[in-house]
Structure 1
Amino acid sequence: MKRSNGFTLVESIMAMVILGFAMVTLVSFLYPQIERSATPHYQTRAANLGQSLMSQILARGFDNNSDFDGGLIRCGEEGTSCTAANNLGRDGSETNPSQFNDVDDYKGCWWTDSVSDCDGATLRAPLSNILGSEIAARYAHFTVTIDVNYDTATMKKIQIKIDTGRYGEFDFTGFRGNY
């Protein structure tokens, strides 16, 4: 009687069942870890975008009625009034960030690949850099909401909220003084 070297049918089926259970267990433990590994990436990108936008906004003037040539006349002085709180935002001539001259021009919703998160925002625009070039493709699924309001008569509060979808929302706050 010649003995064959190999597996029997029963042994082969048992090996496949054990291997199947091992794969299911391995995938069920590893898959959530892989998905969570993207979170720090989105956090870093949101932090960089938020810091960049805040720096860009704070580099602008306090108000559209301020003197931008040396700041000798500030709004609220010498017969120059500041923009009313209910009129903060862009005027008709300012269509992209390269034309913005004061902090409240950025007020609104800046979107990338959809505007579903911009409900209720009156000002909407694709996400752009300081030169007015669209950067929405680099920040897929990000939505940026910028709100600018008077904190005091001489301070504007800038609030930036960056929504990265399922990876979280990130808030940034800055103040621009009338000086």
Structure 2
Amino acid sequence: MRFKQKVSPTLTLPTKASQQGFTLIEIIVGIVVLSIAFSIFTTLIYPLANQSAKQVHQIKAAELGQSMINEIIAKAFDENSDKSGGIYRCGESGATACSSTLADEESGARERFDDVDDYNNLSIMESSLGGDDSLNDIYVGYQINVKVINDSDYDGDHDDEDDISTAKLITVTITTPQDFDFVFAVYRANF
């Protein structure tokens, strides 16, 4: 009987040709391609992010402008007007003449402003919006500028001929942190 010799599988080491992987040059080329792709992606996304922030600033500016206009409109027309909504208006017969001064008669204390004229040339940074610190946190970087002029002919310009007892144009300019100006204007008539 012949014995057949069993051949055991031999352990063979892989040859260099059968090994697979990336060379250093291939890795460097891959990194360069990825960095170019990310830079293109970033230049496309950044303007969109900037535009979305612009919309948020517009909304905040509208809120801030409207609240400032509401605050001003709630005040009396003039220093010599009846503050309690009396029968006579300043400048009418039998009443005190309207003040020709468009300035703060309350010496800068905004909480003491009692008429529209007091707000003329008011400039507020976000740090002085009010007593509530949460307002300052919401409106970081915003600035408010207020201008009040006599404008009896409703043309938007202050003329020397304007009757000081008819109407005042209140212009509120809100400047956002991105340096965009939003202008809100309203007339306050003497009534």
Query: TM (normalized to structure 2)?
Result: 0.76
**Given the alignment, which residue of 113, 118, 136 partners 1:105?**
118
Answer whether contact 1:148 1:156 (CA < 8 A) is retained: yes
Give the 5 Å matches for 1:13-162: 13-77=28-92, 78-84=94-100, 87-92=101-106, 95-97=109-111, 99-107=112-120, 108-112=122-126, 126-128=128-130, 133=132, 135-152=135-152, 153=163, 154-162=166-174
Aligned partners of 2:97, 2:79: CA distance in 1, in Å?
Answer: 10
Pair 140,159 (structure 1): closer, same or farther in 2 beyond 3 Å: same
Aligned partners of 1:155, 1:27: CA distance in 2, in Å?
Answer: 52
Percentage of identical aligned residues = 36
Query: TM (normalized to structure 1)?
Result: 0.81
Instruction: Find the structure with the greater CA-based Rg.
Output: 2
Answer whether contact 2:106 2:118 (CA < 8 A) is retained: no
Aligned partners of 1:9, 1:165: CA distance in 2, in Å?
Answer: 47
Does the residue aligned with 2:178 lie in a helix, a strand or coil? Answer: helix
Deviation of residue 133 (structure 1)?
Answer: 4.9
Number of aligned residue pairs: 161
* Gap runs ≥5 in structure 1: 114-125
Q: CA RMSD in A?
A: 1.9
Structure 1 ranges of 4+ moved more than 3 A: 132-137
Equivalent residue, structure 2, for 1:169? 181
